[in-house]
Amino acid sequence: MKEESAHVRWERRTQRPLLALAVLFAAAYAVPIVVSPASEELTAACTAVEWGVWAAFAADYGVRLWLSPARLSFVRTHWLDLAAVLLPLIQPLRLLRLVSTLLLVQRRARMASQIRLTTYVAGAVVGLLMFGSLAVLSVERESPDGNIRTLGDAVWWSFTTMTTVGYGDHAPTTGLGRMIAVGLMLSGIALLGVVTANIAAWFIARFEKDDVEERRQTEAIRLLTDEVRALRAEVASLQQTTPRS
């Protein structure tokens, strides 16, 4: 059996710890928004957790780069990971830390062979719904003209935005809120396409399986028919060559 490389072993062993850190990041991001107004100590603690999780993902990228046998090729093929690592350093906004962490979690989750497509899509939908709601609530709640004031309003807005229904009863009024809306709409359309393609692929695979089984049965019947014909011909030949008494 071929021995795993150090790069593959690292990715396999760090998969679950990084996903657990992502859940911790989600809690740290959500608490100051849901608990409003949050104390300075709570906000500082959650911010430290967010930066700590981001640092863990950044260190993971650095280790994978170091263990990669072709580092230049690794950087070219994992440029999105590098962008997600560098994004929060450009401007220290919580939203940028959210976007970069989501990108890093997505990239690492896609590497896991044990995570099936359906589970990945379901997790992506729930994650986008939750983070979209929290992000728009954090930027719209204090807006003078905003109409997204509660978590319930934010969840409803995120759901209608992701499904591209857009009732219009709640809508972002700030520039950052509208940027979040654009990202959520594009993500919703992409996920809808993945779900549709997954369902179509399942039906096609099912039909192909039935077709293969039908062809197998038809071939078996044909072979059996050929054997019966051959046996009949052999019996007829024997009857012709046997002398009559």
Q: What is the mean pLDDT of residues 55-70?
A: 86
* Neighbouring C-beta atoms of residue 160, cutoff 10 Å: 17
* Neighbouring C-beta atoms of residue 147, cutoff 10 Å: 13
Tell me: the pLDDT tens digits for 162-185? 887 877 788 888 888 888 888 888
Model confidence at 199: pLDDT above 60:
yes
Residue at 162: amino acid letter: M
In whole angstroms, what is the distance from residue 62 CA to residue 64 CA?
Answer: 6
pLDDT at 96: 59
Residue 36 DSSP code: S
Rounded (10°) CA dihedral 139, 141, 143, 146: 110
Number of continuous H segments (helices) and E segments (strands) in the chain: 8, 0
pLDDT at 1: 43
119-136 burial code (b ≥16 CB/10 A, e <16):
ebeeebbebbbbbbbbbb
Model confidence at 213: pLDDT above 80:
no
Model confidence at 69: pLDDT above 50:
yes
72-95 burial code (b ≥16 CB/10 A, e <16):
eebeeebeebeebbebbeeeeebb
pLDDT at 124: 73
Query: What does pLDDT average to over the chain?
Result: 78
Q: Which residues contact 136 (CB under 8 A, 6 or more apart)?
A: 148, 154, 157, 158, 172, 177, 180, 181
| Cα radius of gyration rounded to whole Å, the chain | 29
Structure tokens at 168: 């219009």
Model confidence at 3: pLDDT above 60:
no
Low-confidence winner among 62-66, 75-79, 153-157 (lowest mean pLDDT): 75-79
Question: Where does the pLDDT of residue 91 fall: very low under 50, low under 70, confident under 90, or very high at 90 and above?
Answer: low
> How far is the CA of 210 from the CAs of 17, 196, 214, 222, 238, in angstroms?
41, 21, 6, 18, 42
Q: pTM for the full model?
A: 0.57
